[in-house]
Amino acid sequence: MIAGIVGPMTAPLIITRDDTLLDELLRLGAAAGVVPDVAHDVGAALRGWSTAPLVLLGTDLLADAARLAVPRRERVHIVAWGTVPHEVFPLALAVGAENVAELPRSDTWVVDALTDLGDGDRPSALTVGVVGGSGGAGATTFACALAQRAASAGPALVIDTDPLGPGVDRVLGFEMVDGVRWDALQQTTGRLGARSLREAVPRRDRLGALTWSAGPQGTLQAFAVREALSAAQRGHDVVVLDLSRSLGPLVEELVARCDQLIVVAVPTVPGVASARRLCARLEAVAQPMLVLRGRGIDPDEVAQVVGAPVLAAMPDQRGLAEAIDLGAGPVRSARGALGRAADTVLAGLQAPVRGVA
């Protein structure tokens, strides 16, 4: 608890004189595993205003904050006990608040926001998009293999954004694993916590999957995808996006949010021609790299024709269908073709890759 704040703050800052509101916020902080600092007036809070990772400002002191013209900053949230009167919202805009939360109705949201502070030292996840250069190239299988190998080193999540694909849960053997899927997630609104997503999706050890429920699939809602990706990046080391070949505004936005785009191509004349067209359409938002599956045209020739470097080339993996049918996922052994190719890609994304000669 603070009267005067000394040095940079690493705890969230609560600013309120309302004992009921304060008790509730401290309870939520305990549930999130954090110990907030507390100021009972805005003047005392100014020393820590800019350095606290998150500010929860009670409506009882909101007018004081607006009158003192507190500096604009991110992650300021107005909190109230009960229904918020209309006059609060212009004041919230005046102090640059991101939103207004009514307690106890928004308890879960506040816990998620506080819990995410525990991931504050975690760098944003390496985010890799995977798309098929042609139909049947095996992009979903490779996306799952990439996530499997990434999960051997740390928490990883594969996100299925292709409603016409086979489904990453089917490829990974997660069909019977309980967890939140797109149909439920798209019914929610507001901020999604990193820990909430990590714990809610179907998961096996350090590997999670956000995918579709069985049956007819709907259309992804852009706001739900943005929130899910943001939460995934805050809560995992590696995030793999299984992207649809049906390019549109949402897919192009997701590509732009990736650190790297991988195009899985078949080294045949039709496969290379299709991959070349796809890469040309995406060159405005990404610089794709290629992963080749199967035998055929020499990788150097493929790179020249497509205009993108080949990061890995692999033969078809023997026993792949059996491994998937057994629920083991595509990578049964790191020494298999998919395991080696996935490891090559993950290693290559940590270091500069030589471009096309």
Domain boundary among 94, 119, 144: 119
Indicate if the pLDDT at residue 3 is higher than 50.
no
Indicate whether 7 belongs to any domain.
no
Q: Are residues 184 and 227 in the same domain?
A: yes
Indicate whether 6 belongs to any domain.
no
Indicate if the pLDDT at residue 300 is higher than 70.
yes
Indicate whether 5 belongs to any domain.
no
Indicate whether 224 belongs to any domain.
yes
Indicate whether 354 belongs to any domain.
no
Q: Distance between CA 108 and CA 82 in Å, rounded?
A: 15
Residue 230 phi/psi, 5-degree rounding, is -60, -45
User: Considering only CA atoms, which of 175, 146, 159 is closest in space to residue 225?
Assistant: 159
Q: Are residues 272 and 234 in the same domain?
A: yes
Please give the residue that has the higher pLDDT: either 345 or 3.
Answer: 345
* Confidence bin at 307 (pLDDT 50/70/90): very high
Calculate the average pLDDT of the chain: 88
Q: Omega before 104 cis (within 30°)?
A: yes
Domain boundary among 69, 96, 119: 119
Q: Are residues 107 and 133 in the same domain?
A: no
Q: Are residues 95 and 49 in the same domain?
A: yes
Residue 355: predicted pLDDT: 38
* Confidence bin at 8 (pLDDT 50/70/90): very low
Q: Distance between CA 23 and CA 21 in Å, rounded?
A: 6
Q: Are residues 88 and 149 in the same domain?
A: no
pLDDT tens string 182-199: 988 877 666 677 888 888
Amino acid residing at 152:
S
Location of structure tokens 């993996």: 317
Q: Are residues 27 and 139 in the same domain?
A: no
Helix (H) or strand (E) holding 209: strand 207-210
Percentage of the chain surpassing pLDDT 70? 91
* Confidence bin at 350 (pLDDT 50/70/90): low
Indicate whether 35 belongs to any domain.
yes
Q: Are residues 165 and 249 in the same domain?
A: yes
Instruction: Count how many domains the chain has.
Output: 2
Indicate whether 231 belongs to any domain.
yes
- Determine the distance from the C-alpha atom of residue 98 to the mean position of all C-alpha atoms in its chain, rounded to a whole number: 20
Structure tokens at 23: 């008790």
Q: Are residues 105 and 138 in the same domain?
A: no
Q: Distance between CA 353 and CA 133 in Å, rounded?
A: 20
Residue 7: predicted pLDDT: 39
Mean pLDDT in residue range 241-247 = 91
pLDDT tens string 13-28: 999 999 999 999 999 9
Q: Are residues 113 and 139 in the same domain?
A: no
- Residue 205: CATH number of its domain: 3.40.50.300
What pTM does this model have? Answer: 0.72
- Residue 64: CATH number of its domain: 3.40.50.2300
Helix (H) or strand (E) holding 347: helix 337-348
Indicate whether 2 belongs to any domain.
no
| Percentage helix, strand, coil for the chain under 3-state DSSP, each rounded to 5 | 40, 15, 45
What do you get for the CA distance between the two ends of the chain, in Å? 61
* Confidence bin at 241 (pLDDT 50/70/90): very high
Domain boundary among 119, 138, 170: 119
Residue 5: predicted pLDDT: 39
Least confident of 5-14, 24-33, 137-146, 293-302: 5-14
Q: Are residues 163 and 102 in the same domain?
A: no
Q: Residue 139 in 3-state DSSP?
A: helix
User: Considering only CA atoms, which of 217, 166, 204, 211 is closest in space to residue 321?
Assistant: 166
Q: Residue 324 belongs to what domain range? A: 126-348
Residue 208 phi/psi, 5-degree rounding, is -120, 160
